[in-house]
A and B are shown apart, each in its own frame.
Chain A
Amino acid sequence: MRNLRAWFLRLGDAFRKQRRERDLSAEMESHLALHIEDNLRAGMSPEQARRQALIKLGGLEQTKESYRDRRSLPILESLLRDVRHGLRILRKSPGFTTVAILTLALGIGASTAIFSVVYGALLAPLPMPHPEQLVMVWLKMDGDRNVVSPGDFFDWKQQSAVFQNLVAWDEATFSLSVSDHPEALQTRIMTPGFFDMQGIPMQMGRDFAPEEAELGKNHVMIITHRLWQQRFGSDKNILGRQVRLNSELYTVVGVLAAGMPDRYEAPLFVPMALRPDQITHERHWMTVMGRLKPGVTLAQANADMDRVAKHIAGNYPSSNEGVGALVEPLKNDFTSRDTIRALWLLMGAVGFVLLIACVNVANLLLSRGTVRMKEAALRLSLGATRFRLFSQFLTESLVLALIGGVLGVALAGALLQVIVNLLPQFSVPTESDIRLNMPVLLFSLAAAIFAGVLCGSAPAWQISHGNLSGALKEGGRSASNAGRHGLRRGLVVIEFALALTLLAGAGLAIHSFWKLARIDLGFREDHILTFTLPTQFDRFPNNERMVAFYRQMLERVSSVPGVTSASLSTSAPVVGGSWWGMEFSIAGRPTDDSASKPGARFQMVSPGYFQTFGIRILKGRDFTDQDNAGAMRVAMVNETFVKEYLQNVDPLAQRIVVRQLDMSTMGPPVEWQIVGVFHDARNRRTRREDAPEIDVPFWQSPLPYVRISARTAVEPANLSNSIAAAVHSVDPDSALDHVITMDQALDEWLADDRFAMLLFAGFAGVALLLAAIGIYGVMSFVVAQRTHEIGLRMALGAGSKDVLVMVLGEGMLLALAGLFLGLGGTYFVGRTMNSILYGVAAMDPLAFSMVAAVLLAAALLACYLPARRATQVDPMVALRYE
């Protein structure tokens, strides 16, 4: 303990040198004065008295020196001295210092900014107590995770032994009427205990009570802090207040504390109350989260859930045969694999930028080596050790890197603003808090130290271990040290290899995005306005009433001036919606194996859907208004469906057997006559292959998950008010949600890829610039060094063209060597990026040759300037100079 205390005091004293030094001098002075006085009293002469006192002390400077050694840490003092020396040296050459610091700041800043995103999205612990206990629980069907049926959920809750609690939820759109206008709000319908289980605090009020999951007691709601402020004027007495929600009265029982929940997509929460007939094992629609008991591992939880799933499968073989359960950490669960991969790839890209920046600065440091060589030689001959010199030069580059780091953090702050604004919504989890916090700053510090050591050690070694007698002899004017030039050329080659690797990544990202943006979507995306309506769960007593209601609404929307056609569907291309993955069979075909029934995407559309979206009908006919509840059940399938299941038969002669789909249950199997085949339209993320799809008339199989889309003759956004008025003329409480034109939707759809592409391209641009600066620096230096030789050549008859070709040739040789070396890197990059790319091979010759050409052009330009300077050498001047 005492040693530690002393050590800290000594550490502190290293920074309070001047005051302590004055103190020491005063103490020595007083000591001598006291001693001299005694000596005088003993009868000595003043001179003798002083002399004796000094002798007895053992020398004033010696005492001070041994005192100083004890006072602070000598190693720290020499470090501080080096730092001061370094700062002085750096101040003396502001041009070099500025370029070096800016280069490093760029590298460190970019790395820090991306690391903030990676840390916030992937690494930081979730802001809840014991986040490691929080898990998502999924059904495992065909090896994939799937949402859960109510029957499974309640069985899990009862039979599993590893959870403290399990909650389930679903989301829907509700109409909230606080003022005159109803407002569509994303609403989370959930079993009680969701917030308490996660440990999410309340501003006031409480989480739902268990009995509020019973029908009749479920008209209560919880709101986020933000909604409380925005829609309820921060009403302090809101608890107990009644609010109109989907035309019914709900009582507010809780307001969440400000913070993370404000970033949820849903600002409104109501309890989930299920009728007994809704609790089946067949319909899967719940998302389930749980909190593990303390000490339970994921493996144990999965083992326990396997047991439970087997037990359930024994009880309900028809629905649960072969269905398992999957327990996954909550962390990263809502970040797609593609996003995770893209984030790490971006991290890699900025790592390359940092490396290139380091190489560049190393090169700059080496070019200053000539001057510093003389200083080093002088100090070495005066008795400094080589280690001491090495550490001094390394300290200098560390100082450079740390200043660059500070600047880099400032840059990262600005860059982060841009990135967070560009960051597509929901591509990182709402829980993630992206900012410059402590771990991020520690990362920046580490990056700065890494950069300092990386860019400093080679030059420091070179200077402190070079052949110094030569340096002294030549008077430091022009040490034509071949080794050092070799090193500098090597660095340029490495730089170009790194730059090519990074540029190749950017080239792939750009090429992939280019292809993605020009993909055949299978429908016409212009002049479409689309929106969803609130989910009306309990509003309609029967299907006839539901169909009548929506039919009327669709008619009103269709008759809005400017609307050329309108349709109603549960889901639509690109914007998505509600659809069901349904097992089916073809009527009259033997079902070979009940366990491996084929599945298809199943959705309901109104007549006019294909016309509104401009989806071509390849065979047969479109749905009509006559395809209603009283008529024969009909279906349309897409091209992929025909390709996969109806090869070599006439699709229009086939009937599909699918179980009836009701609000909460699955009815008996019913037959649907195929009447048409339509061209595939892109529904999901485009990277995946097209899926087989079955569309049936909404009028024959209505469900209250409704999206209305309109094709317009005018700019679609201009019609949103009149279309809203048409909807409200049927139901004033129906709020329009997610109102968007298809062009906007496509724009959002591509946002993730555009974001990644822009960042990749940006970093590659920086790399290109740095590489060009690097080769420019080296070639300028080479030309300056060889002025004499060039002058001689010209005097002997070489034309300026010869000189130009010579210098350019040397520069291009370096660039080409770098490109060649970088080919290996591009292969690696292509392999790594493959999964986030669309329609581009890992070795994409087009992208690679483009970036190589860009890099070579940059190199040519960068070499041209010094080469031209070489041609302007006046032979007479150059030769006289010697």
Chain B
Amino acid sequence: MGEKKDVWQGTLALMVLKTLQAMGPLHGYGIARRIEQTSGDLLIVNYGTLYPALLKLEQEGYISSEWGVSDNNRKAKYYKLTRAGRKQLNKEERDWEQTTAILARFLAPGEERS
């Protein structure tokens, strides 16, 4: 059973971790809305795709979940970052910066070509 390693899966996980770091414990709907808002509604996405990603992160031990009550008295499942998740986030942030830096150099107006 190979995992599908497309970019979106990876970035979504990173976004979830980052969101949880910024906002503290949050339910699935909240995470989805937050990602949508932060990306400036550019990433139009089915909220549904978030849940398998959350499950995967939980299975890997980066986040944990717990049933709680929302501001307006709704029962909801709250996700929060674990210590392993925090470490993973740091690592992925560094990796991402490295990747974007390399890509940026590639995509910058070509100097070698001229």
Q: Which residues of A contact B (CB under 8 A)?
A: 2-3, 5-6, 9-10, 23, 26-28, 30-31, 33-35, 37-38, 56-59, 62-63, 66-67, 69-71, 73-75
Contacts and interface: CB of A to CB of B under 8 A. Distances in A.
Contacts of B48: 57-59, 62-63, 66
B76 A6 contact: no
B47 A6 contact: no
Nearest to B55: A70
B39 to A, nearest CB: 15
A56 B52 contact: no
Contact of B52 (A59, A69, A75): A69
Contacts of B46: 56-59, 63
Chain A contact surface mostly:
helix
A26 B75 contact: yes
A2 to B, nearest CB: 5
B29 A35 contact: yes
B52 A67 contact: yes
A842 B113 CA distance: 88
B29 A58 contact: no
B1 interface: yes
Contact of A31 (B1, B29, B72): B29
B44 to A, nearest CB: 9
Nearest to B67: A26
B74 A56 contact: no
Contacts of A10: 59
A73 B51 contact: no
A70 B47 contact: no
19 contacts: A3-B60, A5-B60, A26-B67, A26-B75, A26-B77, A27-B51, A27-B77, A28-B51, A30-B76, A31-B27, A31-B29, A34-B27, A34-B74, A56-B47, A57-B46, A58-B49, A59-B48, A63-B51, A66-B51
Interface in B18-59: 27-30, 33, 46-49, 51-52, 55-56, 59
A70 B56 contact: yes
A69 B51 CA distance: 11
Given A23-B77, A30-B74, 13 more contacts: A30-B76, A34-B76, A57-B48, A58-B47, A58-B49, A59-B48, A63-B48, A66-B49, A67-B51, A67-B52, A70-B52, A70-B56, A74-B1
Interface centre among A10, A35, A63, A69 (most CB of B within 10 A): A63
Contacts of B76: 27, 30-31, 34
Interface string B76-87: 110000000000
Nearest to B33: A38
A24 to B, nearest CB: 8
B70 interface: yes
Given A9-B59, A27-B28, A58-B46, A34 B70 contact: yes
Contact of B60 (A6, A26, A35, A69): A6
B109 to A, nearest CB: 40
Interface string B55-69: 110011100000100
B74 A33 contact: yes
A610 B4 CA distance: 91
A9 B59 CA distance: 6
B55 A71 contact: yes
Contacts of B72: 37
B60 A2 contact: yes
A35 B76 CA distance: 12
A30 B77 contact: yes
Contacts of A3: 60
A29 to B, nearest CB: 9
The residue among B49, B51, B74 with the most chain A CB atoms within 10 A of its own CB is B51
A69 B1 CA distance: 11
Nearest to A31: B29
A28 B28 CA distance: 9
B52 A31 contact: no
A37 B71 CA distance: 12
B53 to A, nearest CB: 8
A69 B48 CA distance: 13
A78 B73 CA distance: 39
A58 B75 CA distance: 22
Nearest to B60: A2
A75 B1 CA distance: 9
Residue among B59, B67, B70 with the highest chain A CB neighbour number at 10 A = B59
A5 B70 contact: no
Contacts of B77: 23, 26-27, 30
Contact of A67 (B30, B55, B75): B55
A682 B29 CA distance: 93
A35 B49 CA distance: 16
B89 to A, nearest CB: 14
A57 B47 contact: yes
A9 B27 CA distance: 22
B28 to A, nearest CB: 6
A70 B1 CA distance: 11
A69 B3 CA distance: 11
Contacts of A74: 1
B76 to A, nearest CB: 4
Q: Which of B47, B48, B74, B76 has the most CB of A within 10 A?
A: B48
A30 B72 CA distance: 12
B56 A34 contact: no
Contacts of A31: 27-29, 47, 76
Contacts of A58: 46-49
Contacts of B49: 58, 63, 66
Contacts of A57: 46-48
Nearest to B3: A3
A429 B77 CA distance: 63
A116 B13 CA distance: 53
A73 B46 CA distance: 24
A57 B51 CA distance: 10
B29 A2 contact: no
A73 B3 CA distance: 12
Contacts of A37: 72, 74
A291 B80 CA distance: 61
Contacts of A59: 46, 48
B57 to A, nearest CB: 10
A38 B74 CA distance: 13
A2 B55 CA distance: 13
Nearest to B61: A5
A148 B54 CA distance: 75
B52 A66 contact: yes
Nearest to A66: B52
A36 B94 CA distance: 38
Nearest to A68: B52
Contacts of B27: 30-31, 34
Contacts of A9: 59
A35 B29 CA distance: 7
Contacts of A38: 33
A62 B49 CA distance: 9
A67 B49 CA distance: 8
Contacts of B67: 26
A62 B52 CA distance: 11
Contacts of B52: 66-67, 69-70
A73 B70 CA distance: 32
Contacts of B74: 30, 33-34, 37
Contacts of A5: 59-61
Nearest to B46: A58
A845 B75 CA distance: 84
B30 to A, nearest CB: 8
A9 B70 CA distance: 28
Nearest to B58: A9
A71 B52 CA distance: 8
Contacts of B30: 34
Q: Which 8 residue pairs across A and B have the least CB separation, nearest first?
A: A58-B46, A63-B48, A58-B48, A6-B59, A70-B52, A34-B29, A30-B76, A2-B60
A73 B29 contact: no
A221 to B, nearest CB: 62
Nearest to A73: B1
Nearest to B59: A6
A131 B3 CA distance: 47
